Amino acid sequence: MRHLVWFRTDLRLADNPALYEATADGARVEAVYVDCPEQWRRHGNAPIQRDFLRRNLQHLAEGLAALGIPFTLLRTDRFDQVPALLAEWTAARGIDALYANREIGINERRRDQAVQQALAIPCRVFNGDCVVSHGSLTTRGGDMYRVFTPFAKAWLGRLRGSGYRLLPAPPRQGDALPPAAIQLEGELVASEAWLAGEAAASRRLTAFCREQLRHYGERRDYPALAATSSLSPYLALGVLSPNQCLAAIEAELGFLPLSRGEWGFSWLNELIWREFYRHLLVVFPALSMHRAFKPETEALRWDNDEQRFGLWCRGQTGYPIVDAAMRCLHDTGWMHNRLRMIVASFLTKDLHIDWRWGEAWFMSRLIDGELAANNGGWQWAAGTGADAAPYFRVFNPTTQGERFDPDGDFIRRWVPELAGVPAAAIHAPHDWLARHHPGHGYPPPVVDHGRARLRAIAMFDALKDREAP
């Protein structure tokens, strides 16, 4: 028997259900990754993430070669060309079955359906990216949860009852092979600030659990602190699995924190948010097609001012915490989660620009860009998504900065124009700058937050008026 493992967003040997099952019955295994550079461009994924993909594929190729598993990088432009490519490949290699882990975007799901129709061999697909399989948590009426809190309660109940399963890496199937040399077409931006490979991801996970897990809940919202896990790039490409995250929590604490208030629960809760958005994307495929979760919000009248959008993208809004966050994203390809909420609220509720513009900009810049989490976060901020909070929640960028960067350390790092501004003035620096540095060059506020907030609320109130009989 010859089995083919098709790697996608699951670039790891350990806890990989498709790889584990393909090797479980002693069959000879080969592996491929199908690169579609034109599809990558159409999806708007970031060049820095593509470089991170390249480097992690290289580590995967080396790991497979050490196990005697041949690995081939196949290339074709678009997803619609993949079925014919794999049909030809499997036939030529005498493959008896294809193994893969599920991908959840609508384009990926349509591709996989076409592959199954094109191949004359069985295609076996597994859940490799969630602790609880997509769509398996439902209300008593059989519907997907639309609000996070009851979903989280059900998710924790499933974990208490069933636990989680951590799969080992496959055994050697022969002598070590020369590893494939991985090169990807298209634009690449250096990602060396992030070490690639399973071993690097595991070390970062272990270090985070040892050094930050117990105090994550109190420290996570302060971007000047190195208090978050920074594991999202590895989770986005599947170099690390959520089950491995649970195992690391349990190894550090001696238990899994399944109740609010326990050490480590705050970070576990972030993993549940990740799963919530992934379950939503499966059950509501319109989320993959640029549609709002709340259909009535499609009628929102966004301003979509391109000049103001450009100021937001470049970190030139005149609101220090927003500008620092956007410049950090531009230079590093990553942004702290609290800052993502602040800048998303500012774009949608202060500048009144369609959340889809921000969603696309993030995907084009983030090293951890991932459809479900990015879409979920943007719709949460915009008030169009699966969230029980009222639509009139509008972050005040000044008070957010005062609360979460009180001394301005993060701001000064990324906005050098404000390096000399004292902490008392750092979050509203314009009067101080006018007195002490009249030639400073820092832009004035692009909007007045108070008036912009009222306008945002009025936009949503107008939707209620449209619905009234």
Pick the catalytic residue from 270, 402, 417, 432. Answer: 270
334 in catalytic set: no
Pick the catalytic residue from 127, 250, 263, 302. Answer: 302
396 in catalytic set: no
Pick the catalytic residue from 312, 361, 378, 414. Answer: 378
Between strands 123-126 and 71-75, the pairing is unpaired
Give first-to-last CA distance, the chain, whole Å. 65
263 in catalytic set: no
337 in catalytic set: yes
Spatial separation of the C-alpha atoms in residues 106 and 128, rounded to whole Å: 17
Burial, 116: exposed, middle or buried (Cβ in 10 Å; 0-12, 13-18, 19+)? middle
Phi and psi at 359, nearest 5°, equal -60, -45
Instruction: State the CB neighbour count (10 A cutoff) for residue 75.
Output: 14
Phi and psi at 268, nearest 5°, equal -55, -40
Spatial separation of the C-alpha atoms in residues 196 and 87, rounded to whole Å: 31
Pick the catalytic residue from 38, 127, 250, 273. Answer: 273
357 in catalytic set: no
Spatial separation of the C-alpha atoms in residues 43 and 108, rounded to whole Å: 11
DSSP SS3 for 100 = strand
Which amino acid type is present at position 98? L
CB of 33 closer than 8 Å to CB of 19: no
355 in catalytic set: yes
* 430-437: long-range contacts, CB 8 A cutoff, minimum separation 24: 430/318
Pick the catalytic residue from 355, 357, 380, 414. Answer: 355
Residues sharing a CB contact under 8 Å with residue 282, sequence separation 6 or more, in sequence order: 104, 134, 135
Sheet holding 123-126, edge to edge: 71-75, 28-35, 2-7, 97-101, 123-126
**DSSP line for 173-215:** -SS--PPPPP---S-----TTS--SHHHHHHHHHHHHHHTGGG
Which residues form the catalytic set? 270, 273, 302, 337, 355, 378
